[in-house]
Chains A and B, each alone.
Chain A
Amino acid sequence: MALKLEVTNVSKRYVSKSKDRTIQALSDITFAVEEGKILGIVGESGCGKSTLSRIIAGLESPDTGTVQVTGKPHPVISKYVLKNRQRTVQLVFQDPYSSLNPRQPIYKAIDEVVAIYQPALTGSERDERVSDLLGRVGISRDMSNRYAHQFSGGQRQRICIARSLAANPEILLLDEPVSALDVSVRADIINLLLELKSQFNLTYIFVSHDLEIVKHVSDDIMVMNAGKIVEKGSWNEVMENPQDQYTKTLIEAMPKLSRRE
């Protein structure tokens, strides 16, 4: 199957303001994701998973190495090209409230993305597209003139997902998409994401610290620690037969419903 995303030898180093400390956020990261697959990335805070997502999304450029989306090198996004280019990689963040403009009705939030990426559409065609996107994530059209604070956490995340789909992406980068949500709402959003993936023929990068969720959704899992990939493989290999010591520690540390002393 065709490779959708290729990350080759990516390294990134940050220098502190006083220039006396450097942090190697990523060292020599290489991996690929096939079209239509879900890659789960797990690791603890500071392991470099967020830097990596930012680089894949083009929000940050690597010091060395390349990121290729469907074989084309993925350029760094500058203000000037942003408006005219169809973005193939879209992000969904952890906190859906801070990713929505509080002063904007959610209809507008999605409409403006459609207007940027499909400028040829007429007013009524655009309206139809916005309604369709909202419908796909289970938000009714009547609610679309409301503001972000009038929705629950789960609904806000649905809106953020609809907004990212408005750009017709090929890859969705999901950075802890359910971590900020109530437990009883998480399963609902995961179900929605899995459904949309097949509807829109998407490829997912699912970044999370929650091994249980990553195990459930991923085809392949990549474990990161201190800016390096310590292990990668198919989900059942990594979860059931981990080779790396750090992966073993991580799996061992996971609270389990079945484990009681």
Chain B
Amino acid sequence: MSLLRVSNLTVETSLDGKTLVDDVSFSIEKGESVGIVGESGSGKSLSALSILSLLPNGVRKRSGTVEFQGQEIAAENLQNIRGNRISMVYQDPMTSLNPMMKIGRQIEEVLEAHDLGKDSARTLAALESVRIPEPEKCANSYPHEFSGGMRQRVMIAIALLLKPDLLIADEPTTALDVTIQRQILNLVNEQKRANNASILWISHDLGVVAEMVDKVIVMYAGRIVEVGTVAEIFENPRHPYTVGLIGSLIKRKHQQKMISIPGTPPKPWTVTGQCGFADRCSRVLPNCTQQKPELVELGRQSFACFNPFEGGLI
């Protein structure tokens, strides 16, 4: 039994039913780290937010189920799972902390919400675990008194407070400088190991994903186009989109033309009855514009493509 299983998830705009995420299914095992990579508008964040029913206003789930330890996540058990068994860290640590509330209080609030009472020793231990110097002083400060990296540490402390089974990290280092990013990546890895937690890591940065996860899900225009282990995705990509992305990163000569993908990604709802990548693809076949390719499993890799690369090209 998988720790988390998302089946046939479809997300749409509430107002006019435009498809944003189209029939996405994936699973996460206990202790496994999974990454979702994609560009803005690919549906990676919406897929992650759907897990905990945190979709923003104006967007709703059309169909699909999310099962946690074999049990469907629904309104009745959501409060027992959210923040407790599954927690989240967001991109911008400034907007996810309350600017009017001291940090210690914000941590205690989480404990209180889960009926664990006011426990200042636990609060300080949480701050200490993410290596914040002088935890007492930190607990007594407001978010604006800290740098972005420190605030993100606080967010991670809150997310890991109740030792969740799954941590969903939505671009947690995108707003940070590289050296701070390095500290946060190391910290998350360390905490993951200490708690044997699973991680769902959402990012557009393939380099970060390659370091953080075991399995990569590549999303494009609202659909999953390829799934595989890090080694397979990076050394043996099959979908032309993945090949283009990775090619531009690793196959380049100084000041020479980089491998690029012409054009821009389409809006997911404009793609009907064809492959979303067909218009930008160099390997397009007549079939590609007539039907949607389904995700086909081949060994430990899956891809949705009628004319995949044979592999080993990069």
Give A contacts to B, CB under 8 Å: 38, 44-45, 152-155, 182-188, 190-191, 194, 209, 211-212, 215-217, 219, 235-236, 249-250, 252-257, 259-261
Residues of B within 8 A of A236 (CB): 254
The B interface, classified by DSSP as helix, strand, loop or mixed, is helix
Whether B271 sits at the interface, judged by CB under 8 Å, is no
Please determine whether A216 and B241 come into contact, CB atoms closer than 8 angstroms.
no
Residues of A within 8 A of B162 (CB): none
- CB nearest neighbor in A for B182: A253
- Report the count of interface residues on B (CB-CB < 8 A): 37
Query: B205, B258, B260, B264: which contacts A155 (Cβ < 8 A)?
Result: B264
**In the bound complex, what is the Cα–Cα distance between A240 and B181 (angstroms)?**
21
Whether B211 sits at the interface, judged by CB under 8 Å, is yes
Please determine whether B211 and A255 come into contact, CB atoms closer than 8 angstroms.
yes
**In the bound complex, what is the Cα–Cα distance between A186 and B211 (angstroms)?**
21
Query: A182, A250, A257: which contacts B40 (Cβ < 8 A)?
Result: A182
Please determine whether A250 and B264 come into contact, CB atoms closer than 8 angstroms.
no
**In the bound complex, what is the Cα–Cα distance between A249 and B177 (angstroms)?**
12
Whether B312 sits at the interface, judged by CB under 8 Å, is no
- CB nearest neighbor in A for B246: A257
Residues of A within 8 A of B206 (CB): 183, 257
Please report which residues of chain B, range 248-269, place their CB below 8 angstroms from some CB of chain A when the two chains form the complex. 248-250, 252, 254-255, 257-262, 264-265
**In the bound complex, what is the Cα–Cα distance between A38 and B177 (angstroms)?**
23
Please determine whether B264 and A259 come into contact, CB atoms closer than 8 angstroms.
no
Query: A152, A190, A191, A215: which contacts B264 (Cβ < 8 A)?
Result: A152
Whether B77 sits at the interface, judged by CB under 8 Å, is no
Please determine whether A184 and B245 come into contact, CB atoms closer than 8 angstroms.
yes
Please determine whether B185 and A255 come into contact, CB atoms closer than 8 angstroms.
yes
For this complex, 8 residue pairs linking A to B, each with C-beta atoms less than 8 Å apart, are: A154-B264, A183-B204, A188-B262, A190-B258, A235-B254, A256-B211, A259-B210, A261-B189
Given contacts A182-B204, A255-B207, A256-B211, contact A187 B177 (CB under 8 A): no
Residues of B within 8 A of A215 (CB): 254
* Chain B 37-52 interface mask (CB, 8 Å, partner A; 1/0): 0011000000000000
* Chain B 184-226 interface mask (CB, 8 Å, partner A; 1/0): 0100010000000000000011111011000000000000000
Residues of A within 8 A of B262 (CB): 188
Please determine whether A187 and B248 come into contact, CB atoms closer than 8 angstroms.
yes
Please determine whether A44 and B178 come into contact, CB atoms closer than 8 angstroms.
yes
- Supply 10 further A-B pairs (C-beta < 8 A) apart from A216-B255, A257-B234: A152-B264, A182-B265, A184-B241, A184-B244, A188-B261, A211-B178, A217-B255, A250-B178, A254-B178, A254-B207
